[in-house]
Chain A
Amino acid sequence: MNDKKLLALGLLLALAAAAVATAGCGDRSPVWSDPASVDATYGLNGGVAILDAPADRVVLLIPGVEQSLRIEHVPVGRHILNAQVSPRGNKLLVLSAGHRAAIGDDEADEKPSLTVIECGDGVSTQRYELTTLTDPLAGIAIDPVEERWVVLYPDADRSLAFVQNPNELVFLDLTQPPATASVVPHTLHSFGGRPQRLTFTQTLALPGGPRRLLVVESDQDLSILDIADPTNEISVPLTSGTDNRRLSPAAVTVDDGDPTRDDDARIGVRLQNDSSVITLTLEPEPGTTGFRPTVNLTDVGGVPTDIAFVRTDGGLRLAALVPTRSAAVLVDPVTSLTTEVALPARYQSLSLVTDVAGGGAGAAVDVALLWNGTTATDGVAFWELGQTAGRPYRSIETVGVVAAVADVLPVPQHPNLRVLATRAASEFYVLDLQTRTAAPLVTSASQIAFSMSPAGDQVWTYTPGAKLVVATGVADTHPRSLLIERSVRGVFEVENGDGRFALIVHPGGGGGVTVYDANTLDDDTRRLYSSVLTGGPYK
């Protein structure tokens, strides 16, 4: 071998070595470099779901015997826009924008999609491709009654589409399998408004047959659609053509009226910027919809903060709370006559509790719970809508809660109980609607958060960011604290075939979870999990 060959051999080896070095310049998924976060965590009936947006996946945490934890990775469409839990808590719906592959793009083209993840005895996934959309609508509204219908609507906060039709809705029937499901787009007959809220009604007895409606509130008008056939639409402008004020709806309430009649279903509307309430009575009319809304506008003397249809001795009324007058106003939807009822405090919210605090379902008169007062000691009150001692609608009974109640939380499986979250968040109450008593529970920290057990026998109280978690029995109001080593982001009680478990989710790092047996709450049998989001594989 001459020197040239020897040099060539040396160079060959050096090149081979350099090739090894070059080949090592990484094919790891960029997802590994994106921090994990447990900020978007959802409690489902059988487990807990964490939205892992950088990895385009949902991580399901399913507890099992002896506080084991099965971690399942469910891939969803690329570029997650929105996610929502269905009202019954058995499904998670994830809306994704997909990916539009340019020429030479390494990644395949992917249409916008809606992934429905069901977590029960097992995990099942269905992905609906939204092939009719290029720029998907980012808002999701789920039918709370049957969980059948999903309506996608424009959400300017989540979408970056260059041109967007704010009145476009897309209807999807989840009872259809993805292969045959049709995506039905519909544009509202807008008078210039943009949809703000969507309300699904129960089945209403309407002219032409019972139907379910979708009520869409825009910032200046109202649209009423037949869910099964969105082309059957009636839009109602709230602003008179002779008036330059723009009336914006703040909330709606719906009542079917007499179940034997099909001409008395009503929609009540309160306004953000006006002291009037609007009643729409859906009366028969020949045409495609079969009904026509008759509009009644009634001034209640102040901007109402809550409305509900209530049954009184005098018949159906639309009740409006007017805190500026420290009063409730009852509006007769037929005559528009009003009756003002003075209240002991400036309550801003009401909920009907007739089922347990009144005469039960089908009672002739309703009982309402009043709450959310404007001062720190307003508490709650029961409002009987019947006649008492000759004073119609004036039977108001306060409960000894000396705090402003910010929220009234239902307790699953216990219709007679409510948890009252106070505005000061330094205490809460367990309210028994039947005995009309409220058991106070005082906390040493403020900014407390709540979650309920599916069995409704305990309420979980915790302070986000701290290490404090307490389970309080709603029957005996006995608090039991948990031993928590890491800061808490959320607490979820999960019940499945293996038992009842409390999953305490911890932020930081790859996300942690502490699993307790929710029956025993025994510290010795708890298990601590770390980095639940760290594991791959990633695309």
Chain B
Amino acid sequence: MNRNRMTRSRRGLAAVALGAVVAVTGPRSAAAQGFLEQEAASQKPETVQGTIGVRGMLIRSDGYDPFSTTDMLPQVSLAVEHPFARQGAFGFAAGVGMDYGESGSTARGTPSSFKAWRLSAVVEGRYYARSYAYGFARFAPGVLRSAAVLTDDSSPNGNQLADHFDLISADSSLGAAFRVSGPANPVAAWLCVETGYSWAQSHHMYLTPAAPERDQAKLAPVDLGTISPRGAFMRFALAIAY
């Protein structure tokens, strides 16, 4: 098969890229390697994978305190990936991902909310330990669009005070996926669990009420300090591959 004709240098690159996953799974025998390659080769190659999941992100930044009683930002995740360059137990996938989350609370009695929408490019290396399980390492640089909002009665006309801002972000994570559909089914369903660290720039929040241009100078922003929307995260997802 074409995949088996992959050059030695490409195979070496794959091994380096997925070194972390290999280290976790530990050494295995040459017999097992041959078995896996045969098993992988016998399956229909997946060309597209869609993922939907839930993600929880831990934001320790003090700037997040007005918007949540905990440090957790719950999110939903969507991703579309194209698996490619499968070589034996190793494989690659690339695609785009999106996470959206919001939290709400009260800040000194004032209703508050924080919304985060992340669009990222996804690069993923996989190691297929079994036909029904693989581990993966993922890197996802992207853009984080956020909105911090207070609904303050003391603001002019009771308007909301808001700060919308865009930040550069990058996620790196490790995870595992388990196939829950039968091997004969052309549509594969995978349950994925993933944990990692999400980094984003910091931002000093100045929340302003909405007003016409001519009135902007009369309205002072509310200084809510600096938020650093970064921290460890976990994700549980269902992936459908075809």
Smallest beta-carbon distance B43→chain A, Å: 18
Q: Are A6 and B109 in contact (CB under 8 A)?
A: no
CB nearest neighbor in A for B24: A9
Of the residues B56, B66, B129, B176, contact of A24 by C-beta under 8 Å:
B56
- Distance in angstroms from B40 CB to nearest chain A CB is 14
Report whether A32 and B108 are in contact in the complex, using a CB–CB cutoff of 8 Å.
Answer: yes
Judge whether B101 is part of the interface by a CB distance below 8 angstroms. Answer: no
In this assembly, does B190 line the interface, its C-beta being within 8 Å of a C-beta of chain A? no
A530, chain B: closest CB distance, angstroms: 4
When the two chains form their complex, are residues A530 and B225 in contact, meaning their CB atoms are under 8 A apart? no
| Contact A24 to B109, CB < 8 A, known contacts A1-B28, A486-B154, A528-B220 | no
Contacts of B26 in A (CB 8 A): 1, 5
Closest residue of chain A to B152, judged by CB? Answer: A509
Residues of the A chain whose Cβ atoms lie less than 8 Å from the Cβ of B46: none
Interface of B is mostly: strand
Minimal Cβ-Cβ distance residue in A for B154: A512
- B24-A530 in contact (CB<8A): no
- Contact of B153 with A16 in the complex, beta carbons under 8 Å: no
Which listed residue (A23, A511, A535, A538) contacts B154, Cβ 8 A? A511
Q: State the Cβ distance, B70 to closest chain A Cβ, in Å.
A: 4
Question: Quick check: B71 and A531 within 8 Å, CB to CB?
Answer: no
The residue from B105, B129, B223 contacting A1, defined by CB atoms under 8 A apart: B129
> Counting CB contacts under 8 A, is B37 at the interface?
no
* Contact across chains for B129 and A535 when beta carbons are under 8 A apart: no
B25, B209, B220 interface centre (most CB from chain A within 10 Å): B220
- Give a binary string over A1-24; 1 marks a CB under 8 Å from any B CB, 0 the rest: 101011001100110111011011
Contact B193 A17 (CB under 8 A): yes
The A-contacting residues of B in range 45-86, CB under 8 angstroms, are: 56, 58, 60, 62, 65-66, 68-72
A35/B219 in contact, CB under 8 A: no
Are A16 and B234 neighbours in the complex by a CB distance under 8 Å?
Answer: yes
Residues B123-147 near A (CB distance < 8 A): 129-130, 133, 135
Q: How far does the alpha carbon of A98 sit from the alpha carbon of B129 in the complex, in Å?
A: 61
Question: A207 contacts which chain B residues (CB < 8 A)?
Answer: none
Closest to A54 in B: B108
Question: What residues of B have a CB within 8 angstroms of the CB of A20 in the complex?
Answer: 56, 58, 195, 232-234
Q: Is the CB of B56 within 8 A of A510?
A: no
Is B107 interfacial (CB-CB < 8 Å)? Answer: yes
Whether A509 and B155, one on each chain, are in contact in the complex, defined by CB atoms closer than 8 angstroms, is yes
Chain B residues near A531: list those with CB within 8 A: 107-108, 110, 150, 152, 154-155, 161, 207, 222
Chain A residues with CB under 8 Å of B135's CB are 9
Question: How long is the Cα–Cα vector from A486 to B109 in the complex, in angstroms?
Answer: 18
Cβ contact within 8 Å between A21 and B56? yes
Q: Does A103 have its Cβ within 8 Å of any Cβ on chain B? A: no
Complex-state Cα separation, A506 to B176, whole angstroms = 55
Q: Which residue of A lies closest to B65 (CB)?
A: A28
On chain B, the residues within 8 Å of A33 by CB distance are 69, 106
A54-98 with Cβ < 8 A to chain B: 68-69, 71
Please state if B65 and A536 are interface contacts (CB–CB under 8 Å).
Answer: yes
| B225-A537 in contact (CB<8A) | yes
B104 surroundings in chain A (CB, below 8 A): none
Q: Say yes or no: A507-B154 contact (C-beta < 8 A), given A10-B176, A13-B175, A69-B220.
A: yes
* Bound form: Cα–Cα A524–B129 in Å: 71
A26-48 interface (Cβ within 8 A of B): 26-29, 31-36
At the interface, yes or no: A527 with Cβ under 8 Å from chain B? yes
B223 / chain A contacts, CB cutoff of 8 Å: 71, 535
Q: Determine how close the nearest CB of chain A comes to the CB of B146; give it in whole angstroms.
A: 18
Q: Which of A29, A34, A529 contacts B65 (CB 8 A)?
A: A29
Residues in chain A near residue B70, CB distance under 8 A = 24-26, 28
In the complex, what distance in Å separates the CA atom of A34 from the CA atom of B66? Answer: 11
**Which residues of chain B are near A23, meaning CB under 8 Å?**
58, 71, 232
Residue from B72, B110, B222, B236 within 8 A of A17 (CB atoms): B236
Interface contact B56-A26, CB-CB below 8 Å: no
Contacting B71 at CB < 8 Å: which of A6, A24, A524, A534? A24
Contacts of A321 in B (CB 8 A): none
Q: B224 contacts the other chain (Cβ, under 8 Å)? A: yes
Find A506's partner among B28, B107, B154, B217 (CB 8 Å cutoff).
B154
**Chain B residues, CB < 8 A from A470:** none
A407 close to chain B: CB less than 8 A: no
Contact present for B24 and A534 (CB under 8 Å)? no
Bound complex: CA A532 to CA B152 (Å): 11
In the bound complex, do residue A529 and residue B220 qualify as a contact, i.e. CB atoms below 8 Å apart? Answer: yes
Contact of A509 among B154, B217, B220 (CB under 8 A): B154
Say whether A533 faces chain B, with CB atoms less than 8 Å apart. Answer: yes
Q: A494 CA to B31 CA in the complex, in Å?
A: 86
In the complex the two chains form, what is the Cα distance from A36 to B154 in whole Å?
Answer: 11
B154-184 CB contacts (< 8 Å) to partner A: 154-157, 161, 174-176, 178
A-B pairs with the 10 shortest C-beta distances?
A: A35-B109, A512-B154, A24-B72, A17-B234, A508-B153, A26-B70, A509-B152, A509-B154, A36-B108, A509-B153
**Further 16 A-B residue pairs, CB within 8 A, beyond A25-B70, A531-B154:** A9-B25, A10-B176, A13-B174, A13-B176, A17-B194, A17-B234, A17-B235, A35-B109, A36-B108, A36-B109, A510-B110, A510-B150, A510-B154, A512-B152, A527-B217, A535-B224
Chain B interfacial positions (CB closer than 8 Å to A): 24-26, 28, 32, 56, 58, 60, 62, 65-66, 68-72, 105-110, 129-130, 133, 135, 150, 152-157, 161, 174-176, 178, 193-195, 207, 209, 217-220, 222-225, 232-236
> Chain A: residues with CB nearer than 8 A to chain B?
1, 3, 5-6, 9-10, 13-14, 16-18, 20-21, 23-29, 31-36, 68-69, 71, 485-486, 506-512, 524, 526-531, 533-538
| Cβ contacts A to B, 13 pairs, < 8 Å | A9-B135, A10-B178, A17-B195, A21-B56, A21-B72, A28-B68, A32-B105, A508-B154, A530-B150, A531-B108, A531-B154, A534-B224, A537-B225
